[in-house]
Amino acid sequence: MDTSHESRSLPKNAYEELPKGVSYEPVVPARKAMPELTWRSVGWGLFLCVIFTVASAYSGLKVGQVMEAAIPISILAIGLARLYPRRSTLLENVIITGIGGAAGSVVAGAVFTLPALYILKLDPHPLQTILICLAGGCLGILFLIPLRRYFVRETHGKFPYPEATAITEVLITGEKGGSQAKLLLQATAIAGLYDFLVTTFEVWKETINFQFLSFMRMLSDKAKVVVNFDAIGFILGMGYVMGLRSSLILCAGGVLANFVFVPLIWMIGSHMPDLVVYPAVIPISKMTAAKIFSSYVRFVGVGAIATAGIFGIIKSLRIVAGSFAIAGKALRSGKAAGGERTDRDIPLMSILIGVALSSVVIALFMGSLSGGASGQAAGWVQAVIGCLLAIVFSFFFASVAANAIATTARNPVSGMTMLTIIISSIVLLRFGVSGTTGMFFVMAIAGMVCTALSVSGQTITDLKTGYWLGSTPAAQQKVKFLGVLAAAVASGLTIVLLAQAFQFGEAVPGDTRAVLASPQASIMKALVEGFMSQQPVAWLLFGAGAMVALMMEMLGVSALVFALGMYLPLELNTPALVGGFLAHFINKRSDSIRERGVIIASGLMAGGALGGVLGAAMRLIPGYSESWIKTPFYDNEFVSQGVSILLFAGLCAYVWYGSVRKK
């Protein structure tokens, strides 16, 4: 009898810290055998990975918005499961989601960096673009595997894992069917329509800044204090899953950055009207609050994130060392690493071989760039330095990415890539790498590190989902390499093809090709150009961020969550806080209400992701305009923002009443 689709529920302690001596038993226990790695799951995963990679690469270059792949693919997996006489098992759906989810992570690493090479007129070979993505993706997986036990098993219940929670709830609720599946689909449909309309067309304002109120406008003009609120369902659901504690810390970082640092810098700069303070290029007295944030405060946030990452590595060292010790004992005894099925990783020797092979390939790649730069011997020294930079940054940022994704579902990809470019430029300049060779060197390193950082974050999401549901970690890790390979080839070739038909960045006089804005890559290009021109580094701003992270650790507060709040735009923090408060008051009522609340919040995240995918696809239509659907009141700030406030309040009311009402 086929029991692969029998009704299952998450254990009650799935989201709670475990008492000492108590272990978590997943939905599919370790002792139970179930189809997992099958031609069906791997085939569909690779197919969806390629489709989402191509679409994400185009949308990321066009509008700076990379499609979220994992959550929509988890929904597709539920539908695909019903196409076969033997319905796909829960664990097969985990594999499909894990492979397909590699699309968004690899694309983020690619489109944030590689187009900068075309803007700089360096025109990489197609194989070079693929290799950069593939090397970075493999390093991201390899360096994350030793961290799995710490982030997934040993700290069970201590991290909210918003995205993994949403994927898990989608898969388990779709498996169960009944009223809970209807509730999930209802929330998904509401958030999907809501987020699609508000982010794609001019129906009402997405971001609320309260500038229609005279006193808020005065605060903005006189003190550069601006309150921003992104009123969409995805972030509301994310904040709900994060919980009140994490969302408060996240928002506190935003308060310090936007309501303390920005006004303070403005007050000092306003008394020196013509003084330009590096790294900005215009006087502070002529800056908006947003410009002050991006020119100065964001660098403080980058310093805080980097320092918090160091603290995270230190905290995880004991568990990582324990993982290596277990693997070492297994090697000596000739047994496979790990004990029970649900705690079995890829063997340590395979990880070490993978890192060694990746290092050799990266060194050879760097050598091909530097061989003729300043003599063969000097060129290979530079290649080894470039390889070491890529390896060290990828290893360091794997922990940062895992921690960030586990707490806020937000990966500080651009900030860490900027830090990589800055430090790599400084180091390579000292070894004689400069000019166009230096720019290619630095952007190749940045592309690998950015991809590694992004893939690490997505991989920890997969592994946590698998931990809750009962997947085999080693199986998830093996197929992740397949997903990265497919996504690297698809994204690399897509970027090369688009480079033939479009200009990246800004239009060049005499070039009649259409322009793809490539916003993140344009920033990276400006940064690497500046440092290869040997401009000074704003060490004081990075140092200030480091001191903030140190203070948070001294106070016993999550330094990385606080640092992310400082780095992310305020409008992404404030709605998460509303979701956190909703979760706090709903969860106090009963466990059944809490379960319904998580299902609705997961539906909001899933619907928001689907709405974003559909909105990004609409932007690819020739002649697309946000004014295709435009309400008469859209340009009236008072009415348009007022409607946005009321509709967002309606979303909150839906979450509340949908959670507390009886089945």
Give the lowest-confidence range in 347-351, 461-465, 530-534.
530-534
Tell me, rounded to whole angstroms, the distance of Cα 419 from its chain centroid: 17
Scan for tokens 């804005």, then name that residue: 517
Residue with tokens 């090697």: 331
Q: Which of 59-68, 491-500, 565-574, 653-662 has the lowest mean pLDDT?
A: 59-68
User: 229 by DSSP, 3-state: which?
Assistant: strand
Adjacent-strand bridge partners of 286: none
pLDDT at 579 over 90: yes
Alpha carbons within 13 A on the beta-carbon side of 552: 28
Residue-wise pLDDT for 360-412, tens only, equals: 999 999 888 765 444 444 477 888 899 999 999 998 888 888 888 888 777 77
- Give the pairing of strands 207-208 and 229-230: antiparallel
387 vs 519 pLDDT, higher one: 387
Max Cα-Cα span within the chain: 80
Structure confidence at residue 267 (pLDDT):
93
**Looking at the predicted structure, is the pLDDT value of residue 174 above 90?**
no
Which amino acid, 300? Answer: V
**Contact call for residues 30 and 470 (beta carbons, < 8 A):** yes
pLDDT of res. 372: 42
H-only helix segments in 371-516: 376-408, 413-430, 435-469, 473-501
Helix (H) or strand (E) holding 161: none
Most confident of 278-287, 416-425, 581-590, 632-641: 632-641
Asked if the model's pLDDT at residue 623 lies above 90, the reply is no
Say what the pLDDT of residue 374 is.
41
Radius of gyration in angstroms for the set of CA atoms belonging to the chain, rounded to a whole number: 24
Nearest-angstrom CA–CA distance, 371 and 627: 53
Supply the pLDDT for residue 663: 55
pLDDT tens-digit map of 298-320: 889 888 888 887 787 777 666 56
Structure tokens at 490: 């698809």
CB 165 within 8 A of CB 636: no
Domain spans in the chain, listed from the N-terminal domain onward: 39-660
Q: Which residue has the tokens 């909210």?
A: 160
Average pLDDT, the chain: 85
pLDDT of residue 92: 94
Interval 458-471: pLDDT, tens: 999 999 999 999 99
DSSP string, 273-311: TT---TT-SS-GGG--HHHHIIIIIHHHHHHHHHHHHHH
Lowest mean pLDDT of 47-56, 374-383, 488-497, name the range: 374-383
Predicted confidence (pLDDT) at residue 63 exceeds the cutoff of 60: no
Pick from 632, 572, 575: nearest CA to 202: 632
Q: State the CB neighbour count (10 A cutoff) for residue 590.
A: 11
Q: Are 559 and 304 in contact (CB under 8 A)?
A: yes
Return the higher-pLDDT residue of 327 and 570. 570
pTM of the model: 0.81
pLDDT tens, 316-337? 666 566 656 655 555 554 444 4
User: What is the C-alpha to C-alpha distance for residues 604 and 597, in angstroms, rounded to an integer?
Assistant: 11
Amino acid at 413: V
**Which span out of 185-199, 250-264, 339-353, 583-597 was modeled with the highest average pLDDT?**
250-264
- Taking the C-alpha atoms of residue 10 and residue 450, their distance in angstroms, rounded to an integer, is 34
What pLDDT score does 473 carry?
A: 95
What is the Cα 527 distance to its own chain's centre?
Answer: 21
Q: Please, which residues have CB within 8 angstroms of residue 577's CB and are 6 or more apart in sequence? A: 239, 247, 248, 250, 251
Which two tokens mark 196?
């699609």
**Neighbour count for residue 65 (Cβ, 10 Å):** 17
For the residues 504-508, what does the mean pLDDT come to?
A: 74
Alpha-carbon span 635 to 425, nearest angstrom = 45
> Which residue, 629, 457, 528, 642, is CA-closest to 115?
528
